[in-house]
Amino acid sequence: MSTIELNQPSATAPQIPVLKHAAIDGMEAYRALVAEAERDHEAFWARLAREHLDWRRPFTKVLNDANAPFYQWFEDGELNASYNCLDRNLINGHADKTAIVFEADDGKVTRITYQALYHRVCRLANALRARGVKKDDRVVIYMPMSVEGVAAMLACARIGAPHSVVFGGFSAKSLHERMVDVGAVAVITADEQARGGKTLPLKTIVDEALTMGGAEAVKTVVIYRRTGGRIPWIAGRDAWLHELEQAQPDTCEPEWVGAEHPLFVLYTSGSTGAPKGVQHSTGGYLLWAAVTMKWTFDIKPADVFWCTADIGWITGHTYICYGPTAVGATQVIFEGVPTYPNAGRFWDMIQRHKVSIFYTAPTAIRSLIKTADANAAVHPRSFDLSSLRILGTVGEPINPSAWTWYAEQVGGGRCPVLDTFWQTETGGHMISPLPGATPLVPGSCTLPMPGIDAAIVDETGRDVPNGQGGVLVVRKPWPSMIRTIWGNPERFRHGYYPEELGGKLYLAGDGAIRDPDTGYFTITGRIDDVLNVSGHRMGTMEIESALAANPLVAEAAVVGRPDETIGEAIVAFIVLKTERPTGAEAKRVADELRAWVGKEIGPIAKPKDIRFGDAMPKTRSGKVVRRLLRSVAKGDAISQDTSTVENPAVISQFADAV
């Protein structure tokens, strides 16, 4: 990284100036931080930890790598995440500052100050303690986007109970798997959630999950009354959130925990089927959440920050719950969808709430381009977006044409567009433009954050030259990194620090390439069997397992194909136990299988295309030839060698998508 030179933007890119007086002000300031980290990696991170967090007991040891790759950071220090996100703001004179501007699906707006959020969190923390939840107990949160969802996360952190948030779109089966794996003792949920003018059940899904067995440790289900819809009730176990809070004091002494204490476990899809419980620490994770809010987003006291993610994903953890509150920001939280009541909802909200920093997914941008081009009334130009000063994207690489539209039509050609690369496992941004320093290139996430030693290597772990594609790795540990896979340390070791790369390089699981002239990074896609659907990672094996469990299905294979709106579309190749269906029967069966997957995993996992055949194309050893299926899914002519395929004639049967 010491060889980084000042990059120049492409001649065809919008000429967007860097911000003046930003947290990292210019490329020289960026290079100085990179050099500081290179000179003394531990001293660099120790300085940041002392400057950006409040410690109950200061740490004396920075990095413990004796049991690598199970690294420990600031291990003898003590702190509390909820204290750093709430109490510290009260002490610093921000008690009356608006913490959250919440806009409900129906447009109702609620504002809550840091003082009020502190009291709400304390009451819920006390209520959980009163119900027997104690330090180290795990709590599952299955909530809609809401102030209450954020309060639930911070309340768990306050009492030292690691939380595991499950996306509200996941099925009872997916919820059950996560409750059982993490060993939850309590669940916090809502009666229903409201999205796009519709109400969707949550509490009934929790009840269904709890009847599946294995989650008997759950003794408490706390329900936020969101819609007032009728729900089943289990006396003694179920309790209304508002009734529990009414009985509790509005202050709560935080549980001081070691820096390595698990803050949360968040499940993400893996290539082997079973979801992986990514475990994050308290100190290292919170540090990077705060630092990246300042470096990447250049957060200022007067900013209004809006991240459109859901708290069920890592983006919602870092850039809704913990990052904004750790730096005392005012943020917008949105319950609904960008197309309800019309496709101008995002731009209308930016206009009304004077949003200055907007962070969303390329999938949302691409879908809104289509509607804006077709209807001037919902085009960004029809709204006053002059409050914006920084734009960001997250979840997947943004294609240059969408980047340019976003920069020009939403940002007015004056707002830096930050294409941020990071993962559930990394805790925060790893490679990203910095608005006050980095010249921008559409389609590139540009340069690593200071302190992040990213590289591109071949399959043996050797560096590849710029301009040659390879595997993205990180050579040195960093504080916000994944600590382990919950309950499965060997899966962590083999999955993220594989022996074939020497056992010392963090494997991101993505391919990448660096520009020969500038050194900028561009992410080229996953190298494993994990799909990126609308910015959400879905394991192909998990979807295949769900399909194979259907009584109609003999075999199933799942691949991805490029999709201009959602990034990657799920394509399922199916062999039934009966004859291959055609025409209307094929459509009926396909719809049945989509509904099945929706129930088993969640609507996000439903295949966009389903293709039927009499048999899978396999090698003589019985392995499904997925490279051929990927070509079929993309509509490419089969020009590859099929000599190793035992039954190449079946490939043509999968030509038609249903």
- Average of pLDDT values for 215-239? 97
| Whether 249 contacts 122, CB under 8 Å | yes
The enclosing H or E element of 561 equals strand 553-563
Answer with the one of 220, 248, 276 that is the final residue of a domain: 248
In a domain, 189, yes or no: yes
Task: Look up the CATH number of the domain holding residue 210.
Answer: 3.40.50.980
In a domain, 300, yes or no: no
In a domain, 141, yes or no: yes
Global pTM reads: 0.86
Token pair belonging to 12: 């065809």
Question: Which residue would you say has higher pLDDT here, 404 or 269?
Answer: 404
How would residue 646 be classed by pLDDT, with cut points 50, 70 and 90?
confident
In this predicted structure, what is the pLDDT of residue 4?
35
How many angstroms separate the CA atoms of 134 and 156, rounded? Answer: 9
Answer with the one of 248, 275, 302 that is the final residue of a domain: 248
Contacts of 319 (CB under 8 A, 6+ apart): 289, 293, 307, 309, 359, 394
pLDDT at 273 over 80: no
In a domain, 329, yes or no: no
Which residues sit in the known binding site for ATP?
A: 395-397, 419-424, 510, 526, 537
In a domain, 428, yes or no: no
Q: Please write the tens of the pLDDT for every residue from 253-270.
A: 999 999 999 999 999 875
Instruction: Please report, for residues 49, 218, 464, 518, the alpha-carbon distance to residue 439 in angstroms, rounded to integers and kept in the order given.
Output: 28, 51, 24, 11
Range of the domain at 158: 116-248
Task: Look up the CATH number of the domain holding residue 639.
Answer: 3.30.300.30
Token pair belonging to 608: 């966009």
Backbone angles phi, psi at 211, to 5 degrees: -85, -5
How many angstroms separate the CA atoms of 36 and 433, rounded? Answer: 19
Tell whether omega for the bond before 607 is within 30 degrees of 0, i.e. cis: no
The enclosing H or E element of 363 equals helix 362-374
pLDDT at 615 over 90: no
Which residues sit in the known binding site for CoA?
A: 195-198, 315, 534
Q: Please write the tens of the pLDDT for every residue from 470-516.
A: 899 999 999 999 999 999 999 999 999 999 999 999 999 888 999 99
Strand, coil or helix: 505? coil
Contacts of 136 (CB under 8 A, 6+ apart): 160, 161, 162
Which residues sit in the known binding site for Mg(2+)?
A: 553
In a domain, 549, yes or no: yes
Answer with the one of 188, 214, 248 that is the final residue of a domain: 248
In this predicted structure, what is the pLDDT of residue 241?
98
In this predicted structure, what is the pLDDT of residue 623?
65
Q: Please write the tens of the pLDDT for every residue from 290-333.
A: 999 999 999 999 999 999 999 999 999 999 999 999 999 999 99
In the chain, the number of structural domains is: 2
Strand, coil or helix: 574? strand
Instruction: Please report, for residues 146, 239, 278, 446, the alpha-carbon distance to residue 224 in angstroms, rounded to integers and kept in the order given.
Output: 10, 9, 26, 42
In a domain, 578, yes or no: yes
Instruction: Please report, for residues 46, 278, 655, the alpha-carbon distance to residue 70 in angstroms, rounded to integers and kept in the order given.
Output: 19, 13, 47
How many angstroms separate the CA atoms of 306 and 98, rounded? Answer: 13
In a domain, 603, yes or no: yes
Instruction: Please report, for residues 538, 570, 590, 599, the alpha-carbon distance to residue 529 in angstroms, rounded to integers and kept in the order given.
Output: 9, 12, 23, 22
Percent of the chain with pLDDT over 70: 96
Which residues sit in the known binding site?
A: 195-198, 315, 395-397, 419-424, 510, 526, 534, 537, 553
